[in-house]
């Protein structure tokens, strides 16, 4: 085989491999612009409400969430009808203060203990911005609006839907994120994050 066909074949393979790592975009193509812009937002705060439901339990809580790069702080008010929960951590470990007791566990384990829902905590800061998480399996079935805003995708067994976009200092961002997960058997989990406000720190 000559060098030219070989180089052409290698080029095609490399392009196909790169494409296989990206979600399938059903929008106009401007979603790549949205993704590039939004992925640069690493320091932000949101306020809103988080709801969750599993077969065993469900509830909701007012939420104040501060994200600084990979570190986060969350204050949940009223998740069990009274009191508040403070959580801080990163992708490796989370610390929760609840009812004068401190709990330290891996984030997903702590989330499951608190809500009954196995939330992939390391992915939530990406999902909140309407983006697939690089820490999860590659996303699929990506849908976007004519403006390039994320409407939904599937990732890690979770089906995500994004709506109620609002204009912020950093451009349009989701105001409502709904996730559903069908586990083995008839076990079904869900969460809903309704964001009432975004703010940004330039540090």
pLDDT digits (tens, 9 = 90+) for 85-122: 888 998 889 998 877 888 899 888 888 877 888 888 88
With respect to residue 9, please indicate whether it lies within any of the assigned structural domains.
Answer: no
State the pLDDT at residue 122: 84
With respect to residue 177, please indicate whether it lies within any of the assigned structural domains.
Answer: yes
The boundaries of the domain holding residue 119 are 23-198
**Sequence-distant (≥ 6) Cβ neighbours of residue 97 within 8 angstroms:** 85, 86, 87, 103
The pTM is what?
A: 0.81
With respect to residue 8, please indicate whether it lies within any of the assigned structural domains.
Answer: no
- According to DSSP, the β-strands at 140-144 and 43-53 are unpaired
Query: How many domains, the chain?
Result: 1
The full length of the chain comes to: 203
With respect to residue 203, please indicate whether it lies within any of the assigned structural domains.
Answer: no
Average pLDDT over residues 163-192: 90
Structure tokens at 147: 């403006």
With respect to residue 109, please indicate whether it lies within any of the assigned structural domains.
Answer: yes
Whether pLDDT at 28 is above 70? no
State the pLDDT at residue 182: 83
For residue 142, the domain's CATH number is 2.50.20.10
pLDDT tens per residue, range 120-173:
888 999 999 999 999 899 999 999 999 999 999 999 999 999 999 999 999 999
Using CA atoms, how far apart are residues 160 and 202, in angstroms rounded to an integer?
Answer: 28
- According to DSSP, the β-strands at 171-173 and 150-155 are unpaired
Alpha helices in the chain (DSSP H): 3-20, 31-38, 107-115, 121-127
């Amino acid at each position: 085989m000559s060098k030219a066909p070989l180089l052409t074949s290698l080029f095609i393979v490399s392009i196909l491999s790169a494409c296989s790592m990206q979600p399938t975009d059903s929008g106009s193509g401007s979603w790549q612009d949205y993704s590039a812009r939004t992925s640069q937002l690493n320091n932000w705060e949101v306020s809103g409400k988080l709801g969750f439901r599993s077969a065993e339990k469900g509830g909701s809580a007012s939420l104040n969430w501060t994200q600084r790069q990979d570190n986060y702080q969350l204050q949940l008010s009223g998740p069990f009808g009274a009191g508040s929960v403070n959580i801080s951590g990163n992708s490796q470990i989370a610390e929760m203060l609840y009812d004068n007791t401190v709990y330290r566990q891996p984030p997903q384990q702590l989330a499951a203990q608190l809500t009954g829902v196995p939330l992939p905590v390391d992915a939530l800061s990406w999902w909140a911005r309407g983006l697939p998480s690089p820490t999860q399996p590659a996303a699929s079935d990506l849908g976007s609006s004519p403006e390039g805003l994320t409407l939904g995708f599937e990732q890690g067994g979770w089906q995500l839907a994004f709506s109620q976009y609002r204009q912020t200092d950093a451009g349009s961002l989701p105001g409502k994120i709904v996730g559903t997960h069908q586990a083995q058997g008839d076990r079904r989990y869900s969460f809903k994050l309704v964001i009432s406000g975004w703010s940004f720190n330039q540090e």
